[in-house]
Amino acid sequence: MTALARKAQVVDTPSESAATSAFAADVVAGLTATPKRLPPKYFYDSVGSELFERITGLSEYYLTRCELEILNAHAREIADLVPSGAALIEFGSGSSTKTRVLLSTAKSLAAYVPVDISAEFLRRQAGSLRQEYPTVAMLPVAADFSKPFSLPESVERLPRAGFFPGSTIGNFEPHEAAAFLRHAARILGRGATFIVGVDLVKDPQVLQKAYNDSEGVTARFNLNLLARINRELGAKFHLDAFEHHAFFNRERSRIEMHLASLKRQRVKVCGECIDFRAGETIHTENSYKYSLESFGALARGAGWTTAAVWTDADKYFSVHALRLQDGPADGRAEKA
């Protein structure tokens, strides 16, 4: 085991109490806004991360199956884009299931830095990865990837490659996705490769089913947001008074997830009385669907060049290998 591999800590930013206050502030701001909304990053406490894992195994949820098909088919080509001795930085790593394809193929990786907001789930995944890949330094970072965060010191001087699978990029508004790609450019640096998984526009019925599974796991995942607000902020949402809604908004090319109030009700949250009309919804997530061209244009606008694009046999999902030729689009190098 290398010295780098032994240096394995979860960097927790911010502290738990600061994170709880930020959660409370975002929840109150979102529930007092019109229309009501909550940021999707709050789906992911330990319960939410476990539920997401179950979603990835559902027959209707083609996204994981198709992306794994692409990664397995092109593992060698993708691994060849990662420089020898590099640190692989993954944004929103979850269970790192897809990363295992790269960890097993890119043999000369020095370090893997999974970055995720779900700190406890991340800690457990890093433990398993350390046993499976003892020669790669596992350096998990618990952080919000959309904000500035510090990378472990030991990877500062290593070449870096980025990985952002799961079409998590689709959860951003397109202008936020472009801002995120510029932010990632600053973290990864000049010459970096960034492997990004992007879900594609397709038959709305296929999309509809993927977010309305017959076992109701996606509904539980969505409702866990209210359960989490109850657990962590002492609110008293009755989960059976809300219903999961997911539909394709063709005009905006996105799946929208909402929680609909089944009746007129008032819920006290952090000292605020939140009133719901019957049928009123809380907008909890968007999942934008791109074409190969529209995502390529978005990446180009953020300073990335497309080196390669792969799709699965049904053209449901795509994996883009982006290259940063000239350094970050705004010319600044972020100290990671």
Ligand X SMILES: C[S@@+](CC[C@H](N)C(=O)[O-])C[C@H]1O[C@@H](n2cnc3c(N)ncnc32)[C@H](O)[C@@H]1O
Applying CB under 6 A, which residues contact ligand X?
41, 44, 49, 52, 56, 64, 92-94, 98, 115-118, 144-146, 165-166, 168
3-state secondary structure of 307: strand
Count CA within 13 A, CB hemisphere, residue 233: 25
- H or E element, residue 336: none
> Residue 51 or residue 267: which is nearer to ligand X going by CB?
51
- For the beta carbon of residue 283, count every other beta carbon within 10 angstroms: 17
Least spacing, CB of residue 137 vs ligand X, in Å: 20
Alpha-carbon torsion (300, 204, 254, 118), positive or negative? negative
Least spacing, CB of residue 102 vs ligand X, in Å: 12
CA 175 to centroid of chain Cα atoms: 16
Least spacing, CB of residue 314 vs ligand X, in Å: 18
8-state DSSP, 302: T
> Residue 4 or residue 302: which is nearer to ligand X going by CB?
302
> Residue 255 or residue 267: which is nearer to ligand X going by CB?
255
> Residue 60 or residue 116: which is nearer to ligand X going by CB?
116
Least spacing, CB of residue 14 vs ligand X, in Å: 12
User: What's the CA gap between 53 and 38, in Å, rounded?
Assistant: 21
- For the beta carbon of residue 205, count every other beta carbon within 10 angstroms: 9
* Helices and strands (H, E) in the chain, number of each type: 11, 15
Least spacing, CB of residue 98 vs ligand X, in Å: 5
> Residue 118 or residue 224: which is nearer to ligand X going by CB?
118
